[in-house]
Structure 1
Amino acid sequence: MADVDEVKSALHDELRWAREAMVGKLEGLSEYDVRRPMTGTGTNLLGLIKHLSMGESKYLGEVFGRPFPEHLPWWDADAEPDVDKWATAEESRAQIVRRYERVCAHADATIDSLELDSPGHVAWWPRPQVKLVNVVAHVLSETNRHAGHADILREQLDGVTGDCRRSSVAA
């Protein structure tokens, strides 16, 4: 049976891999194509990255009393609904990707500094008392889910399928 450190390492490695897959889906595409709405709800590749930034900043930051140090306006009470799911004209691809990298580094520091059974509080969940292992599993699941969305969007854009990972995201 695997020990706790091996489980933590395996989960963290999988999360890193999923992040790389997400950002890799942007490579080789024009600014137009990374922003291009590909579904009826406006889902686009860059918006998925922005959305994942929001999720990780909350789940692997605030939930464990380690808030992400930068202000993310889409968490403001008066923010437009779903504003984290699309890039504004003022936000460049580089800004969004760099922010995601900073969020991932902050999340990695949380994972590295805590034990898997460390307590957290997810106020918006029905059972808000959680442990790090629950939240890492949730973030990994969400990242993989959105990586699947990104696979479909990328295939629709230019037919590229498969692994487009890059090696520089929160390694």
Structure 2
Amino acid sequence: MANPKADLLRYLQIGRDVMLWKLDGLGEYDIRRPLTPTGTNLLGLVKHLAGVEMIYFGVVFARPVADPPAWLADESESNVDMWAKPEESREDIVGLYRRAWAHSDATIGALELDTPGHVPHWAPRRNPVTLHQILVHVVAETHRHAGHADLLREHLDGAAGHRPETGNLPEEEREWWADYRDRLEQAARQAAGR
């Protein structure tokens, strides 16, 4: 029998797990360093998603998280949720994300999919929302950032895929991947030269 809430929660958990394994085995510098011109970094993505869950499964349904981090309400600093300050440890951010999961899962478990909510930062025409809409939104946002994290991690040490043990890529040797990349580069240059 179909259970849309359980399906959505399963996909959300897959994305959550991906985000945390992307930190595994990396040092403090690599999980924090900005790897794009806009400063995207692995630990910042995890911090951002903790805030996303606290807002969308907390504030939106009038079920605020107990003792939210100060930065969640701090509008004085742009992108404060997209990077970890030196005093914010990996353990602090991961713990915050896990606490957000627990709160989100409690909200999801307690409410029906058609339960209405209100997203304060969305335009009035997009409100009210339902738990179902918010679940879809947060699953999409989590997986979008998991894709970002996948690219960042691959750039750092070559680890790619959505699971550390098998990933979702063909199982080929490093040399095969280097040859494959070279073929793609050659094809791109040929197409550009036409």
The alignment's TM-score, normalised by the length of structure 2, stands at: 0.80
Match of 1:86 in 2: 83
d(CA) in 2 for partners of 1:122, 1:76: 15
- Structure 2 residue 63 is matched with structure 1 residue 66: yes
Hey, which bits of structure 1, 4+ residues long, moved more than 6 A? Answer: none
RMSD value, Cα? 1.4
Quote the Cα distance in structure 1 between the aligned partners of 2:163 and 2:92: 20
> Could you tell me how far apart the structure 2 residues matched to 1:163 and 1:39 are?
21
Q: Compute the TM-score of the two structures, normalised by the length of structure 1.
A: 0.91
Q: What residue in structure 2 maps to residue 145 of structure 1?
A: 144
Structure 1: tracts of 5 or more residues without a match: 167-171
Q: Is the 8 A contact 1:23 1:165 kept in 2?
A: no
1:51 paired residue number? 48
- How far the C-alpha of 1:124 sits from its partner, in A, is 1.6
- CA-to-aligned-CA distance 1:15-56 (integer Å, 9 cap, x gap): 011100111100010111100110011110000000001111
Q: Per chain length, whose mean CA-contact separation is higher, i.e. which structure has more relative contact order (CA < 8 Å, sep 6+)?
A: 1
Unaligned runs of 5+ in 2: 166-194
Cα pair 1:57 1:68 within 8 Å, conserved:
yes
Amino acid at match of 2:45: L
> Which of 121, 124, 143 is the aligned partner of 2:118?
121
Query: How many pairs were matched up?
Result: 163
Deviations 1:54-85 (A, max 9, x none): 11100011100100112222233543110000
The structure whose Rg is larger is: 2
Q: Distance in 2 between matches of 1:106 and 1:160?
A: 30
What is the rounded CA distance, in whole Å, between the counterparts of 1:79 and 1:52 in structure 2? 19
Calculate percent identity across the aligned residue pairs. 52
